[in-house]
């Protein structure tokens, strides 16, 4: 069971009690607008996602971490996910994604959570963390920038979204860049 603590947050593996807030979050149109693959049609679909995330806890080797983000009192705020990219030796290359409940947006929570998982993954052998989002998703880009990610590219007309091709912004954070920062986030 992974538990990562930050000044305001706890990032932890899922428990079955997460089903209700997770389902409410993943059926909220504002949350899934930029995450169409995460849009849940019914509670059975959310339950399958939750069970799959909980199975990862005992996987050996473990290649995926879908972590609940809560406040220090256990209130569910959202989620942050890490996955090792297939085929990279020694678990060196990891991808990251996240979503938060809208009522808690713009309080620096996603930034605090992303900084904490970056530290976690770099302390556990990874050397590179990748993330991408639609270029128009300014909140997500801002989270990555606040965590010290560098934009490596802009993939033009890359992603089919809501009836049109859109640009995708691609970011990276290397272990050396993270460790080298004077002020780690948060």
> In this chain, which stretch among 84-92, 93-101, 159-167, 172-180 interacts with ligand COA, using CB under 6 A?
93-101
Site for ligand COA in 8-47 (CB under 6 A): 31, 34-35
For 143-168, letters b (16+ CB in 10 Å) and e give bbebbbbeeeeeeeebbeeeeeebeb
Q: Which of 64, 71, 105, 119 binds ligand COA (CB under 6 A)?
A: 105
Based on CB atoms, which residue is closest to ligand COA, 125 or 160? Answer: 160
Q: Least distance in Å: CB of 90 to ligand COA? A: 26
In sequence order, what are the residues at sequence separation of 6 or more whose Cβ sits closer than 8 angstroms to the Cβ of residue 97?
A: 35, 80, 81, 131
How does DSSP classify residue 107? S
CB of 117 to ligand COA, least distance (A): 13
Smallest gap from Cβ 68 to ligand COA, in A, equals 14
Q: Compute the CA torsion angle 10, 28, 149, 119 (nearest 10 deg).
A: 20
What residues between 132 and 161 interact with ligand COA by CB under 6 A? 133, 137-140, 142-143
Residue ranges that bind ligand COA, judged by CB under 6 A: 31, 34-35, 97-100, 105-111, 133, 137-140, 142-143
């Amino acid at each position: 069971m992974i538990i990562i603590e930050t000044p305001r947050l706890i990032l932890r593996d899922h428990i079955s009690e997460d089903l209700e807030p997770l389902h409410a979050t993943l059926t909220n149109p504002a949350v899934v607008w930029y995450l169409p693959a995460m849009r849940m049609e019914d509670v059975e679909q959310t339950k399958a996602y939750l069970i799959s995330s909980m199975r990862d806890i005992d996987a050996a080797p473990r290649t995926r971490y879908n972590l609940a983000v809560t406040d220090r009192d256990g209130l569910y705020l959202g989620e942050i996910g890490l996955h090792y990219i297939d085929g990279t030796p020694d678990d060196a290359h990891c991808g990251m994604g996240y979503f938060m409940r809208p009522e808690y947006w713009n309080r620096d929570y996603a930034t605090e959570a992303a900084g904490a998982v970056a530290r976690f993954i770099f302390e556990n052998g990874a050397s590179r963390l990748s993330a991408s989002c639609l270029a128009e998703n300014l909140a997500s880009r801002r989270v990555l920038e606040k965590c010290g990610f560098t934009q490596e590219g802009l993939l033009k007309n890359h992603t089919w979204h809501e009836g049109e091709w859109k640009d995708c912004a691609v970011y990276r954070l290397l272990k050396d860049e993270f460790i080298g920062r004077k002020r780690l986030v948060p």
